[in-house]
Amino acid sequence: MTNTSPDTSFADLGLPAELVSALVAVGYESPSPIQRETIPTLLEGRDLIGQAQTGTGKTAAFALPILSRIDVARREPQALVLVPTRELAIQVAEAFQKYASHMPGLHVLPIYGGQSYTPQLNALRRGVHVIVATPGRVMDHLQRETLSLSTIRFVVLDEADEMLQMGFVDAIDEILGVVPPERQVVLFSATLPTQIKRIAQKHLRNPREITVRSKTATAANIRQRYWLVSGIHKLDALTRLLEVEPFDAMLVFARTKQATIELVEKLEARGFAAAALNGDIQQAQRERTVADLKGGRVDIVVATDVAARGLDVERITHVVNFDVPYDSESYVHRIGRTGRAGRSGEAILFIAARERNMLRTIERATRQPIEPMTLPTVQEVNARRVEKFKKTLATAVAAPDLAPYRAVIDEFVRESGADAIDVAAALAALSKSGRALFITQRSSPTGEEAAGPPMMGGPAEPFAQKSARARRPEGPQALFRLEVGRRHGVQPGNIVGALAHEGDLHGSEINGIDIRDDHTLVRLPAEIPDRVLRHLAGIVVRGQALAIQRLAGHQPHPKGSGKGAGKGRRKGD
């Protein structure tokens, strides 16, 4: 077995290059403890019992070895992952697809109750490699003879104790009795009650047992809050936060190296003193950045997880998770950069409605509630801008070298007859370099009216609605072309997920998905802003940029009309 240490990389664990490159692309920089322990064992083909809490990174621990051994050429079910809930089935299936982004043609299918059988049957007929399912729906398919498990080579029981509590133990026993005897079985459970141990003794062969304790103690003096926001609105949300939240220095976490650079550029363009920390930055530059942060020459540092390790700067009063961490341990490490040595700190998590499972995972793992934030109003932001602007004016008026300017202004006022206040206002506008002093009602970071209802539900039920995004009024739709198609391995769920998450579209607005060999046609609201289209154009799905464009000369149709309308709606809509 491979010897591992905290410095072990994913490549050191024996994973193939296409998986390692996919992990790098989504921001994974080093394996977690459970991944270091589990991946080499599963690559050897051994059965495994893993006792680990949710949020330790166990999904990647079993998904990566399975993907490394999948034969994509065989369009048949080769891996079966059993999970207790529909939400977890979707989450795990999305993780598989993310890790397999450099494996063209690999298909993952989530199967769960409450969803029509038709799309599941259609996908099974086309051929899938990995099935992520709830036990009850698998049993339904077996009884209907619409699913065969005769080609399964890998079985994962994820959160086995939860499935036991939900009454699935008999179904699990029956399913494991149907799959081929030479399959590899992986069992993950936070606890190992007697019935789970019986399942393991009956169906696992000489399993290796691994126990990983989640180190998730968080400081009581760190206040934790979340802000429900997604996609292109996150930058606006961060900007508003920076304008109204009183902070000394802020550490902002992004998933990828490139994201740290892009976010810093955008913050600097908005007048904030920011710097990036990522794995590509040389040690000398890192030391300068940390010194600038300590000395007050930089107020905001945007960093990746690995680059922020060991960072201890007393000025850091706020940690912002701009991108959701992949597990709860990463979250704890991140927010631990504030509230040190008994000081108080603030931790803020940006989270999309579709990522709500991670929010609950973090709360369970840390055993602390994360409170919803109150959206700063337009009036609050503008009042803060006025306050800052007045301070800037006061400093400028007190400057000792104004005499030459006074003479020029006095001469201009006498020659033009302009009011001195108007001249001062014009000079103030010039000093803003075209940036408006006030934001407007339409500038809400969620696309909603800032003066209207809050962007989140109340503390009792923050996710009572399906999504925080405002639905557009009924209107015409137009046809759009995406430069990703069947040969890239794209599925309707990939398209819907990208458009909904990155384009802030509601699932009901995405209609008529027609996946062709090298491109996809889809009906979307005709009035999508150009800035949203520009953002979507660069989004990568299955390794291919969407490069979305509205088809020229296409006449808008009423919503839901046209051939194929209604296809490809988001699961559960």
DSSP state letters, 4-41:
--TT--TGGGT--HHHHHHHHHHT--S--HHHHHHHHH
Alpha helices in 253-321 (DSSP H): 257-269, 283-295
pLDDT at 571: 34
Least confident range of 176-180, 212-216, 447-451: 447-451
- Contact between 79 and 65 under an 8 Å Cβ cutoff? The reply is no
Average pLDDT for the chain: 81
Residue 561, pLDDT > 90, answer no
Give yes or no for residue 558 having a pLDDT over 60: no
pLDDT score, position 132? 96
Mean pLDDT (whole number) for 262-275: 87
Tokens describing residue 373? 């934030």
Nearest-CA neighbor of 98 among 324, 333, 298? 324
- Selected from 2.60.130.10, 3.90.245.10, 1.25.40.10, 3.40.50.300, the CATH number assigned to the domain covering 222-375 reads 3.40.50.300
**Based on the number of CB atoms within 10 Å of its own CB, is 37 exposed (0-12), middle (13-18) or buried (19 or more)?**
buried
Q: What is the mean pLDDT of residues 74-78?
A: 95
CB 262 within 8 A of CB 232: no
Please check whether residue 480 is in contact with residue 548, taking contact to mean a CB–CB distance below 8 angstroms: yes
> Average pLDDT, stretch 141-152?
94
* DSSP result, 395-413: HHHT-S--HHHHHHHHHHH
Sheet hosting strand 300-303, strand order edge to edge: 274-277, 300-303, 249-253, 316-321, 345-351, 222-228, 371-372
Contact of 472 with 509, CB cutoff 8 Å: yes
Task: Express the helix, strand and coil content of the chain in percent, nearest 5 each.
Answer: 40, 15, 40
| CATH 3.40.50.300, domain 11-212, yes or no | yes
pLDDT higher than threshold 70 for residue 472: no
Phi, psi of 302 (to 5 degrees): -105, 120
Give the C-alpha separation, 173 to 155, whole Å. Answer: 12
Quickly tell me which residue has 């802003």 as its tokens: 529
Spell out the alpha helix ranges (H) of 186-248.
194-203, 233-244
The DSSP-derived string for 549-569 is EEPTTPPPEETT-STTTTTTP
Strands 108-111 and 345-351: unpaired
CA distances from 421 to 158, 160, 233, 386, 387 (A): 69, 72, 37, 17, 19
Average pLDDT of the segment spanning 459-487: 58
pLDDT of 507 strictly over 70? no
Higher per-residue confidence, 438 vs 420: 420
pLDDT of 400 above 80: no
pLDDT at 2 over 70: no
Residue 54: pLDDT band (50, 70, 90) is: low
Specify the CATH number for 476-558; select among 3.30.70.330, 3.30.460.80, 1.10.645.10, 3.40.190.10: 3.30.70.330
For the chain, residues classed under CATH 3.40.50.300 are 11-212, 222-375
DSSP 379: H
Q: Enumerate the H helices of 74-193 as residue ranges.
A: 86-99, 117-126, 135-144, 160-165, 169-178
> How far apart, in Å, do the first and last CA atoms of the chain sit?
46
Per-residue pLDDT, 451: 27
Q: How many CB atoms lie within 10 A of CB 556?
A: 16
Residue span(s) of the chain under CATH 3.30.70.330 come to 476-558
Query: Residue 41's CB: how many other CB atoms inside 10 A?
Result: 20
Most confident range, picked from 109-123, 175-189, 258-272, 324-338:
175-189
Joined together, the tokens standing for residue 324 give 């959701």
Q: Which residue has the higher pLDDT, 422 or 506?
A: 422
Gap between the Cα atoms of 241 and 247, Å rounded? 10
Q: Confidence class of residue 504 from pLDDT cuts 50, 70 and 90?
A: confident
Q: Which residues contact 253 (CB under 8 A, 6 or more apart)?
A: 302, 303, 304, 305, 308, 319, 320, 321, 322, 323, 325, 334
Contact in structure between 50 and 212 (CB atoms under 8 Å): yes
Q: What is the DSSP letter of 71?
A: -
pLDDT score of 193 more than 70: yes
Coil/strand/helix, residue 242:
helix
Measure the CA–CA gap between 109 and 183, rounded to whole angstroms.
20
**For residue 81, what pLDDT band results from cuts at 50, 70 and 90?**
very high
